[in-house]
């Protein structure tokens, strides 16, 4: 199964969710899922936010960042499940294989920390981590 996390610019929320979810899948010995991320409104030459790299390191994840990737038609065709950070992004993509992370985890939209202070990034990281833990528990229940 291929899962793609989606946010606006693919510099904050979706790369954080991608890397954290990969780590959680590995720690929980859940196999057969590949994880990527992209954005619906990507500007050229944007890279992963430095704040995200700091937060991932706090979670024990080494990552040097990446160039932001745009959601493309081929990505839509090749991916099994898209998980957006907001309901608006879900509506924008408008596909039967798209869910918002909050929807899957029983919560709200993931707040966008872009160009805000570090406390906003930390709040987003905590929110994403909690939601991904819910998904991992659901996956572990399915894999039993």
Task: Tell how far CA 114 is from the center of its chain.
Answer: 14
Task: Classify each residue of 20-36 as buried b or exposed e, where b means 16 or more C-beta atoms within 10 Å of its C-beta.
Answer: bbbbbbeeeeeeeeebb
Handedness of CA 46, 47, 48, 51 (dihedral sign): negative
C-alpha–C-alpha distance, residues 87 and 85, integer Å: 7
User: Looking at 4, 12, 13, 38, which residue is catalytic?
Assistant: 13
User: Looking at 4, 7, 12, 38, which residue is catalytic?
Assistant: 7
Q: Catalytic residue at 13?
A: yes
C-alpha–C-alpha distance, residues 72 and 85, integer Å: 17
User: Looking at 47, 109, 112, 120, which residue is catalytic?
Assistant: 112
The catalytic residues are: 7, 13, 112
């Amino acid at each position: 199964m291929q899962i793609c996390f989606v946010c606006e610019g693919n510099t904050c929320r979706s790369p954080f969710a991608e890397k954290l979810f990969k780590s959680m899948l590995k720690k929980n010995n859940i196999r057969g899922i590949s994880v990527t991320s992209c954005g619906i409104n990507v500007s050229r030459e944007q890279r992963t936010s430095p704040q995200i790299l700091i937060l991932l390191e706090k979670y024990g994840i080494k990552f040097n960042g990446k160039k932001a990737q745009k959601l493309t038609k081929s990505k839509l065709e090749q991916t099994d499940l898209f998980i957006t950070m907001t309901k608006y992004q879900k509506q924008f993509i408008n596909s039967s294989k798209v869910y918002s992370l909050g929807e899957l985890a029983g919560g709200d939209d993931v707040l966008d920390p872009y160009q805000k202070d570090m406390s906003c990034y930390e709040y987003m990281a905590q929110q994403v981590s909690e939601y991904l833990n819910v998904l991992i528990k659901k996956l572990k229940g399915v894999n039993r």
